[in-house]
Structure 1
Amino acid sequence: MEHKSRIKFFSKLDFILILITSVIVILLYKQILNGYFQQDEWYGFGYIISNRHLGVWEILKLYFSPNIGHYNPLANIIQHYLYILWGTNYNNYAFLSMFLHVLTVIGVFILAKIIFTGNSLKAFFCSLVFGLFASSYQGTAWVVVSIATQASSLLGIISSIFFINFLKRGRSSSLIVSLLVLITSLLFKEITIGIFPLYVVLYFISRKTIKNALNKSLFIILLFGACYLFFRVSMLYFPNTARSSLVTQTQSPGNILYNFSTMPAKSIFQVYVPSNYTKQASLILARVFPEEITGIPGSPEFEKFSVEKLMEISNILAGLAMIAIGFVLIYKAKGSEYKFITFFGLGWVILNSLIYSFAPESSRPIFAIDSRNLYFVAVGAAILLANLLTLNFQKKGAFIGIFIALIYLGFNALSLNTTLDSFTRVGAVRKTILDNIIRLYPTLPPRAVIFTKSDSTYYGLPAGESILPFQSGLGQALLIVYSQQDELPHEFYPGDYLWDIKSQGYQEHDLRGFGYFREESRLKDTIKKYRLPVSGVFAFTWEGKTNELIDITKQVRNEIIK
């Protein structure tokens, strides 16, 4: 009986649908092979290089040591040894990211099929829409950062599969496995913390009365959640705790409360409609208002009004409307299964979005949620959408439901393709710049300085701050790529040196020196101060209109000599 059930679940149709979904996802995401590393990834590489001299036991102690900020020891260890193995071989990370995304998509298919009581077509739609969500593309396209996001998400999905199995069959072993997998997921990234309260709510719903729910199983769920919470809170008092930034250091209590109360509404809307679309719509709509209120179109004040007022209000109202519709459907649903699925999807989005209210990276309210932060939330959004659209498949309005589903899938496929195309074009430019510098000067002298000029500015910097198209410091990126051939002293890589987008400077460690400058006056002052040889200066100019890097080393050296 049990064997037949397993064969029926993994039917030939299931494998065909999983294969189709995987192929579609791979065909769209293969573009990331033409991309390159992002700012957070360069920062991570710098941290790894600064610790690559440590032994295995020291690495374990380093990454498992308490941290009051992010605590992702398993992800950090894997990223550390992948860097030792692959260095900055981008394609290896990209292939791994696509593989993990496909595994996560398959996990969503299995979870959805269990939730939809064996309906393969609903599971197919659910997994496909999750795989193609344009709003969460960074969860895969940021190929190093994605390791933590995807691994945690995949384990969170596996945990949910075991938990749903526990609810349906009452096996305590499934509950224990579910909670152990969830704890493991949290050690990759804390994005699955909302699963704990979701499990409690789902358990109460499945038992129908409070009296039936108050038993050993509920105690086990609460015990696991309390133990993890105690473990994290206790890190505040450990003597050797790493003092990473906390949300209270950058956000006011008012901002924290505002983010916490509005995050679910913004998350559910922005996962369905990428924030770049609502931003563009807000910029257009803002022109209707008087300039006394908005500022001059194109000015920073105009964009601030568009994003912080129009976009923010519209996102919150639209998200609240979606949540309200979900609760109305739960209230009016006749079948307990439909009610449970709607509550599962809605609860997943709401509870798993709250963790991002405590992101310490910003000092302002969060208006546009980072794409990668919508990756795990998107699982519940896909289930909720599949449940809503497929409600009509068995009625006279089936054609309408199918038509809307196809339109939405097409919209996401086109949007994802456009987003990835833009994303990879910028990455390809960055890779070409670094490759050309390394090709022209494959090795550096003991004391080296790289100088760059540019005719363009990027990423909202003022006109006087001309840079190359790197969202973090080009100096640190150069340090990291040169470290592939030349093991520079690890003191160069504490993480912050030359990492900021506008950073310049020079340091010396163990008879080696490295610096990066954009201002010629600071370059000359540093050469005089440290008595650097002119032969150690390498210079380039960037033509932004033609995307061309020109070697001007001889000219700059001659100017310095004069």
Structure 2
Amino acid sequence: MNRIFSLTKENRFAILVFTSLLVIVVGTYYQLFSTFYQQDEWLALGRMMIEPVFAYFSHFSLLALIGGGARFISYPLQYIMYRAAPFQIVQFAFFSIVFHFLNTALFYLLAKEMTKSRFIAVISGLFFATASIGSQAVTWNSASVPTLLSTFFLFLSLILYFRSIEKPTKKLFYTSVALGIVSFLFKESTYFIFILLPLVSYLFSKENNSFLSIVHKHRILVGYGTVSILAKLANLFFVYQGETTGFVTRNSYPLFRLASHFILYPVEAFSQIFIHPTALWSISNFLGMTNYQRLWDTEQAIVAVQTIGGELVSWIFSTAFIAFFCLLYVCSKQYRKVLMFSLVFFVLSFMAYAPLDKTNAYLESRYYYVGVSAMAIIVGISMYVLRNWATEKLKISYSSASFIGLLFIIIFSYFQIQHIHTLLEKDIQIAHERKQFLSMLNTAVPVLPESPIFYLDGSHDYYVAHNKAPFQQGTGYTLMVWYYKSGKIPANFLQEPFLWDITSEGYKQTQGKGFGYFHDMNNLKESLKSNQLPLTAIVGLYYDSENKRLINITEQVRNEIIKDDSSDSTL
């Protein structure tokens, strides 16, 4: 008992920190349990419904598998989670909260391992735990499993690597390298582990190693990393060139765009980590109105605000950050190596997304998750330097200066948490309507006819014109996934994926089974005639979005078609 008590007492600070971080993470993301599928989850579930887990890998080229693009360690876990409880969110919410906490705890240990300062580690851990800019990695089911697990093994790899420098053993070294590769295989965006571990050796190793000796020491890691990166680029530029939406290869001058993104994305992210998009848009809008009035009077003003204007403002604030970083580097002799490591870590984490094209000044939120950790260390060291300056120059007591620094980061974290709650509340409102729609769908259409053809009209457009259901993906595909267990939906339609695009409509038939979805009555009529389909296959629905009512209008739709056919016959 005395031994247990002494161990607890010895580690009481760590227990306090981990308990506090757990409370903060749960308090930040507890609303996840009230959310629902957003978009890509429907495609993932649809394909998982129709094929065994290992069939997934047949859809990828050998180059994609070598390059980590298939994420073949993540997929089996996602498969289990989707198949175990289709249309449920609990397992994903629990997973996200647990692993974001574990990542935060590991990151605290990593920061403490690098800096040997509990103060820096606490500040860094709080910043990482509550940063809203990367919250999509936690809140979006399609991203949470690969991103959170990849980050988990990344942090674990780095912790063990730093310990292998302090106490050099082959076991620690090779375990760290293996975990780094595992991190990459969970999600290929952590490719930079192939550069980061050798960099740690160069900066922190007690031995005076040459460049060639470091490369030789990490030959397995560097060799596999080189092959993987070349495979990724070959796959992007040659195998699927122009086929992948959102990548530079879909546009002109792909190599130039790729090279420019290597510079633009990390530099812009310096400021975007701290500035919420709505604040950035406000600044961009003000600058545009005061300097480019003619453009701001046009319909394209909003596009300019969120693209060129947003990037300009990002560069202005990033320039200020770079100046601050240089000052911090000069003032912090003790942590110069850690600062250099964090800077390179940050830059490399965004270079992974250079093949992607942005839709506005910001990348997708989930892409900032790993980069936030590198910035958190810089923030922690900044607070440490300011605390020491305050005690030396302003004669503030050490404890008071520490308290002020901690209070500052707590206030910052509070506003970050509030913003995450605002985002989640919006997601919950959308989720409630979607779940209500699906529940009403079961009541309105409990049994499908053979080769069903859905027609949906409504009082409101969602996201784009003619999309009458509250979903971000094709309503036709959503209906096929929802009714797949009825046995009346062709499996290959889910694999294609037929009717996935949000505006898509149409009818297809295969092996005696068919399915159709329409939002345009004329197109429905034409399809019925051209495919010689019976009226009994039609399922008509009307969604009253104001009153949240789904009405079965099958008889009205069939009667209208009969009426039109009679008119045509008379003519």
Task: Pick from 123, 137, 140 the counterpart of residue 138 of structure 2.
Answer: 140
Is 2:160–2:176's contact at 8 Å kept on the other side of the alignment? yes
- Equivalent-residue separation in structure 1 for 2:360 and 2:176 (angstroms): 32
- Once the two structures are TM-superposed, the CA of residue 134 in structure 1 deviates from its matched residue by 1.0
- Once the two structures are TM-superposed, the CA of residue 227 in structure 1 deviates from its matched residue by 1.8
Deviations 1:386-436 (A, max 9, x none): 221233334235455334312211110111111111122122222221222
Please give the secondary structure, in 1, of the residue aligned with 2:344.
Answer: helix
Deviations 1:499-548 (A, max 9, x none): 11111111222322111111111111112222333233222233344444
Is 1:265–1:318's contact at 8 Å kept on the other side of the alignment? no
Is 2:499–2:505's contact at 8 Å kept on the other side of the alignment? yes
Deviates more, 1:482-491 or 1:180-189: 482-491
Deviations 1:13-50 (A, max 9, x none): 21222122112211221212111112222222233234
Please give the secondary structure, in 2, of the residue aligned with 1:145.
Answer: helix
Normalising by structure 1, what TM-score? Answer: 0.88
- Equivalent-residue separation in structure 2 for 1:80 and 1:11 (angstroms): 39
Aligned partner letter, 1:26: V
* Structure 1 gap segments, 5+ residues each: none
Residue 260 of structure 2 corresponds to which residue in structure 1? 258
Deviations 1:327-349 (A, max 9, x none): 332233221xx223322322221
- Equivalent-residue separation in structure 1 for 2:337 and 2:488 (angstroms): 57
Please give the secondary structure, in 2, of the residue aligned with 1:87.
Answer: coil
Is 1:446–1:511's contact at 8 Å kept on the other side of the alignment? no
Residue 313 of structure 1 corresponds to which residue in structure 2? 312
Residue 483 of structure 1 corresponds to which residue in structure 2? 484
- Once the two structures are TM-superposed, the CA of residue 555 in structure 1 deviates from its matched residue by 2.1
C-alpha change, 1:391 and 1:7, in structure 2 (3 Å) is: farther
Residue 70 of structure 2 corresponds to which residue in structure 1? 71
C-alpha change, 1:456 and 1:383, in structure 2 (3 Å) is: same
Residue 516 of structure 1 corresponds to which residue in structure 2? 517
- Equivalent-residue separation in structure 1 for 2:143 and 2:505 (angstroms): 25
Please give the secondary structure, in 1, of the residue aligned with 2:457.
Answer: strand
Please give the secondary structure, in 2, of the residue aligned with 1:542.
Answer: strand
Is 1:203–1:213's contact at 8 Å kept on the other side of the alignment? no
- Once the two structures are TM-superposed, the CA of residue 356 in structure 1 deviates from its matched residue by 0.7
For the pair 1:407 / 2:406, whether they are aligned, the reply is no
Please give the secondary structure, in 2, of the residue aligned with 1:144.
Answer: helix
Task: Pick from 417, 422, 434 the counterpart of residue 418 of structure 1.
Answer: 422
Residue 106 of structure 1 corresponds to which residue in structure 2? 105
For the pair 1:212 / 2:209, whether they are aligned, the reply is yes
- Equivalent-residue separation in structure 2 for 1:285 and 1:235 (angstroms): 40
- Once the two structures are TM-superposed, the CA of residue 556 in structure 1 deviates from its matched residue by 1.9
Deviates more, 1:244-253 or 1:418-427: 244-253
Residue 495 of structure 2 corresponds to which residue in structure 1? 494
Deviations 1:255-305 (A, max 9, x none): 222222111122232222232331244235433344422233xx2x01111
C-alpha change, 1:71 and 1:533, in structure 2 (3 Å) is: same
- Equivalent-residue separation in structure 1 for 2:303 and 2:363 (angstroms): 16
Residue 343 of structure 1 corresponds to which residue in structure 2? 340
- Equivalent-residue separation in structure 2 for 1:550 and 1:59 (angstroms): 38
Residue 268 of structure 1 corresponds to which residue in structure 2? 270
C-alpha change, 1:158 and 1:207, in structure 2 (3 Å) is: closer
Residue 96 of structure 2 corresponds to which residue in structure 1? 97
- Once the two structures are TM-superposed, the CA of residue 482 in structure 1 deviates from its matched residue by 1.5
Residue 158 of structure 1 corresponds to which residue in structure 2? 156
Deviations 1:331-372 (A, max 9, x none): 33221xx2233223222211111011112xx4x676211011
- Once the two structures are TM-superposed, the CA of residue 179 in structure 1 deviates from its matched residue by 1.2
Residue 443 of structure 1 corresponds to which residue in structure 2? 447
- Equivalent-residue separation in structure 2 for 1:124 and 1:332 (angstroms): 21
- Once the two structures are TM-superposed, the CA of residue 74 in structure 1 deviates from its matched residue by 1.1
Aligned partner letter, 2:23: V
Aligned partner letter, 2:423: T
Deviations 1:453-510 (A, max 9, x none): 2333343x4xx54533322212112211222454733211124311111111112223
Aligned partner letter, 2:535: V
- Equivalent-residue separation in structure 1 for 2:110 and 2:496 (angstroms): 39
- Equivalent-residue separation in structure 2 for 1:454 and 1:267 (angstroms): 41
Task: Pick from 165, 178, 181 the counterpart of residue 183 of structure 1.
Answer: 181
Is 1:65–1:242's contact at 8 Å kept on the other side of the alignment? no
* Structure 2 gap segments, 5+ residues each: 564-571
- Once the two structures are TM-superposed, the CA of residue 207 in structure 1 deviates from its matched residue by 4.2
Residues paired across the two proteins, number: 541
Aligned partner letter, 1:212: N
Is 1:105–1:130's contact at 8 Å kept on the other side of the alignment? yes
Task: Pick from 452, 456, 459 the counterpart of residue 452 of structure 1.
Answer: 456
